[in-house]
Structure 1
Amino acid sequence: MDGSDWLRLMDSSEALARLYTRPPDLASFDLFSVHIDERDTSLTLGFALDSLPERPPREWTEKGLNAFEFFLTFEGISHLRIDGWYGSRADSVTLTTGAPGEIRTEIRGDGFSASWDARRARVLRIRAYLAARHE
């Protein structure tokens, strides 16, 4: 499985799949949010891109939107391990088939790593917006 096959492991991925011919590697996005909810044993990752996806809806381009974000939620988390976290960019984000019926996720960056298994993963939300550009 290569870096763009992650979308096949997601439930409810149709809205995101329509935006790409081939989903880009998750490490090409800015991982800007990690939310762990121990009550529901879930974990949500927020990814952003400072441009629109490959095939944006006409409505987004007509409104002049220029940035994009989406959230992936992992449910039924087990074997969560986080080693260091310095706010640096993720160099690799991989989702693979793990133990039977599970999805294995690993994130690696300069000075940190995180990994977990999940029973289910889904695209929670996608959104385009207008971002100010700093020069």
Structure 2
Amino acid sequence: MDGSDWLQLTDTPEALALLFTRPPDLTSFDLFSIHIDERDTSLTLGFALDALPERPPAEWTEKGLNAFELFLTFEGISHLRVDGWHGSRADAVTLATGASGGIRTEILGDALSASWDARRVRVLRTRAYLAARHE
């Protein structure tokens, strides 16, 4: 499985199928948040892309939107391990079919290491927005 096949592991691949010919590798996004909810044994990752998807709706381009974010929610989390955070950039984000048929996720970065197993993963939300560009 290569870095862009992660979408096929989600319960909702259609959420991005219209926006991308082929979903980009998750490491091309900026991982800007990890929210762990111990009540629901869920975990949500927030990813931002400094561009619009390759096939944005006309409404987004007409409004001049130039950035995109998506949130992935992992449900039924087990074997969660997090070591470091420190605002480090994720160098590798991998989703794979786990031994029990669930989803095994690993994130590695300079000062970040996280892994877990999940029963399922879904695209929770997507959003296009206008981002200021600094030169």
TM over 0.5: yes
Partner of 1:33: 33
How far did 1:131 drift? 1.0
Partner of 1:17: 17
Partner of 2:112: 112
What is the CA–CA distance in structure 2 between the aligned matches of 1:112 and 1:51, rounded to whole Å?
25
How far did 1:83 drift? 1.2
The amino acid across from 1:53 in the alignment is P
Per-residue deviation, residues 22-63 of structure 1 (Å, max 9, x unmatched): 111000100001000000000000000111011111110011
Task: Please say if 1:50 is aligned against 2:33.
Answer: no
3-state DSSP of counterpart to 1:15: helix
Partner of 2:77: 77
Per-residue deviation, residues 73-108 of structure 1 (Å, max 9, x unmatched): 000000000112221100000000002331000000
The amino acid across from 2:35 in the alignment is H
Report the identity percentage: 84
Q: What RMSD, in angstroms, separates the aligned Cα atoms of the two structures?
A: 0.8
Partner of 2:102: 102
Pairs aligned (count): 135
Task: Please say if 1:123 is aligned against 2:123.
Answer: yes
What is the CA–CA distance in structure 1 between the aligned matches of 2:17 and 2:83, rounded to whole Å?
31
What is the CA–CA distance in structure 1 between the aligned matches of 2:15 and 2:63, rounded to whole Å?
19
Partner of 2:91: 91
What is the CA–CA distance in structure 2 between the aligned matches of 1:63 and 1:128, rounded to whole Å?
10
After superposing on structure 2, the runs of 4+ consecutive aligned residues of structure 1 that deviate more than 6 Å are none
Q: Could you list the runs of 5+ residues in structure 1 that have no partner in the other structure? A: none
Q: Could you list the runs of 5+ residues in structure 2 that have no partner in the other structure? A: none
The amino acid across from 2:98 in the alignment is G
